[in-house]
Structure 1
């Protein structure tokens, strides 16, 4: 993190981007104020801020994602996730004195990638090599993070996260070498029983999505002094 801070601090811009309107630490409605700021600035932030080295979060390019468990081997390549730009803040809580904060938000996202898969889902064999799409409805992510002041900037030494969703829908082309009957049967089963399927294939991708969100927020904190992000 120190290397990141020293690199970003070389950038001339030291003020918060104009679309971020800082709240006051002394505001008795601080949580609600920050919620409104994140809601208003979030879509712009997800587009990326090149002058601060902040990469776009919509789309998020995850590259290669491996799912490796005893029953299923699955590799996604050229993985792209879209939809975070339309996120909505459910709640935000911050305790500046204790250096703790929690962001709870929801978005509808879609993962697209080339896939290679071999193994079992549920109790059924599955095999394929083609294009995939996973549509996730109301993906709810909660990130709890610690922050400390260091050299006039916020530093995030650790965070915890968890997530849930209302539904996932899967589409894999070229299952079983293009066998339509087998492919249709598998799609029917996995789209009805999407929850156990997501438990098998989702965690690695979600961990990477959340990590990217946290990493880009860290870049903002490293580039902009905290007195530009939270007023007295």
Structure 2
């Protein structure tokens, strides 16, 4: 290369040394190699590309989903995506016993930790207007929330507030949804239009603290109720939890997809 550029009239004309020209060419070549496969668009570090011709495309896309996990944890400033740890829901309202003075719980400012530590076990792409489907496993999700209650618990008036904590272990989730595509600036982008989540949770631990002005009897009664009826409480919580989790997950996914054209995700 130095020999070639030593005889280059253009380099001599603009007073560039052969060494400088050589370095410039290598730089341009490297840049071209990094941009050329994606239409001169750099590949973000959070994207792991898959080839469309790959006979195991779905397995490759699962690896791509696993690749993005650490970026979900720390957030992606380039696309204005905050960290998903914690995963935040606004509120859940639960009626746990019937009657005029039934026991009711409201959870607000719900922080969920551990949702980004997922493993995708199965991915089925959408074909012939059928929904896509993903099966994932999360070892543990911890929940912290502000807690208020009203009504009667067993035989005790149980109106008050405090902090609610829960640990959900061995969480299996099935996600199903529909995706549409649109063209922007000559590139195709995907969008999740609808997402449904089914949750199966094996292990449940719940407790409250700093409630009822630290009334020990009411605190112990509430925690005994949650310990003995954890699965029932979760069953009441589940319809709202599924809808609100789906809404937040869809928002996160679409934030990624709106900044990542299909041509970057799946290459020829």
Query: TM-score band, normalised by the shorter chain?
Result: 0.7 to 0.9
**1:154 aligned residue:** 190
Q: Where do 5+ consecutive residues of structure 2 fail to align? A: 1-40
TM-aligned CA deviation for residue 125 of structure 1: 6.5
Q: Where do 5+ consecutive residues of structure 1 fail to align? A: 1-13
How does 1:69-80 map onto structure 2 within 5 Å? 69=95, 71-80=102-111
Q: Which runs of 4+ in 1 moved over 4 A?
A: 96-99, 120-126
How does 1:37-48 map onto structure 2 within 5 Å? 37-48=64-75
- The yes-or-no answer on 1:218 pairing with 2:249 is no
Instruction: Assess if the C-alpha contact under 8 Å between 1:122 and 1:196 holds in 2.
Output: no
Instruction: Assess if the C-alpha contact under 8 Å between 1:128 and 1:174 holds in 2.
Output: no
Q: Cα RMSD between the aligned structures?
A: 2.6
The structure with higher relative contact order (CA 8 Å, sep 6+) is 1
Larger mean CA deviation between 142-151 and 38-47 belongs to: 38-47
- The yes-or-no answer on 1:106 pairing with 2:137 is yes
Q: What is the SS of the residue equivalent to 1:166?
A: strand
Rg comparison, structure with higher value: 2
TM-score (norm 2): 0.71
Q: In 2 relative to 1, CA 127–67 (structure 1 residues): closer, same or farther, beyond 3 Å? A: same
Residue-pair matches, total: 218
How does 1:53-64 map onto structure 2 within 5 Å? 53-62=80-89, 64=90
In the aligned structure 1, how far is the partner of 2:215 from the partner of 2:155?
Answer: 19
- The yes-or-no answer on 1:65 pairing with 2:53 is no
TM-aligned CA deviation for residue 78 of structure 1: 2.8
TM-score (norm 1): 0.81
TM-aligned CA deviation for residue 164 of structure 1: 1.3
**1:6 aligned residue:** none
In the aligned structure 1, how far is the partner of 2:203 from the partner of 2:156?
Answer: 21
